Chain A
Amino acid sequence: RKEVEQDPGPFNVPEGATVAFNCTYSNSASQSFFWYRQDCRKEPKLLMSVYSSGNEDGRFTAQLNRASQYISLLIRDSKLSDSATYLCVVKDSGTYKYIFGTGTRLKVLA
């Protein structure tokens, strides 16, 4: 079983739609969680950290469910510029490495 699993997509959605991505992780001792965004042939960039209480940043909402070991990202009112690959990232306690999922591709259509 992969340490961090994501549906690779692609998710093709119309502008203005709401879309949700889920990600599951295997290590219950994991401590830190993130969503990164990666545009085609570019480096990943931090979209948001995911805290236990959940957090929101404009149109983006991230949730963490430790009991079920999954993280979610909700994007409301999708824009064309949201088209990218969204990478789920987990950092285990006591280690220094980020574990990335394979990413979920999103295409927002006009």
Chain B
Amino acid sequence: ETGVTQSPTHLIKTRGQQVTLRCSSQSGHNTVSWYQQALGQGPQFIFQYYREEENGRGNFPPRFSGLQFPNYSSELNVNALELDDSALYLCASSLPLAGGGLYNEQFFGPGTRLTVL
């Protein structure tokens, strides 16, 4: 067990709806990254939060947004859901990855499996 928790574990939504996914980082980790993993693919980076600020973003539209709270937990919000948003959403926590933290390990949570109908 990594100490990273995510909720809910499964979710079914319909097109056009909005969803909020939650992540609690491992104790002492102030950096949280979110990934989308479609079936048969590797995880794709959505964005990263460090000390409550967005610290980098992948190729995802603005309807994917997030928050990080003072306790370093995080939320991923997706608006106007599309069928292609069906995927496993992974949260990973770590110590900072910039500068001297090149090899700081990212610890993944078990993921939230989102199905959009």
- Taking Cβ atoms with an 8 Å cutoff, the residues of A that contact B are 4, 8, 31-32, 42-46, 49, 87, 91, 95-103
A102 touches B40 (CB 8 A): yes
A46 touches B105 (CB 8 A): yes
A57 to B97, CA, bound (A): 23
CA–CA, A42 and B106, complex, Å: 15
Whose C-beta in chain A lies nearest to the C-beta of B49?
A96
Chain B residues close to A by CB (< 8 Å): 2, 31, 33, 35, 40-45, 48, 50, 55-56, 58, 90, 92, 97-98, 102-103, 105-106, 108-111
Contacts of A100 in B (CB 8 A): 35, 42-44
The 9 closest A-B pairs by CB, nearest first: A100-B42, A43-B108, A97-B45, A96-B56, A32-B102, A102-B42, A100-B43, A96-B48, A96-B97
Q: Are B108 and A44 in contact (CB under 8 A)?
A: yes
**How many angstroms between the C-alpha atoms of A87 and B35 in the bound complex?**
14
Given A43-B90, A43-B109, A96 and B98 contact (CB-CB distance below 8 Å): yes
Assuming A43-B110, A91-B102, A103-B41, what are 9 further A-B pairs, CB within 8 angstroms?
A32-B103, A43-B90, A43-B109, A87-B43, A97-B33, A97-B58, A98-B35, A100-B43, A100-B44
Q: Report yes or no: B44 in contact with A45, Cβ–Cβ below 8 A.
A: no
14 contacts between A and B (CB under 8 A): A32-B102, A42-B110, A43-B108, A43-B111, A44-B43, A44-B108, A46-B105, A91-B97, A95-B56, A96-B55, A96-B56, A97-B48, A100-B35, A103-B41
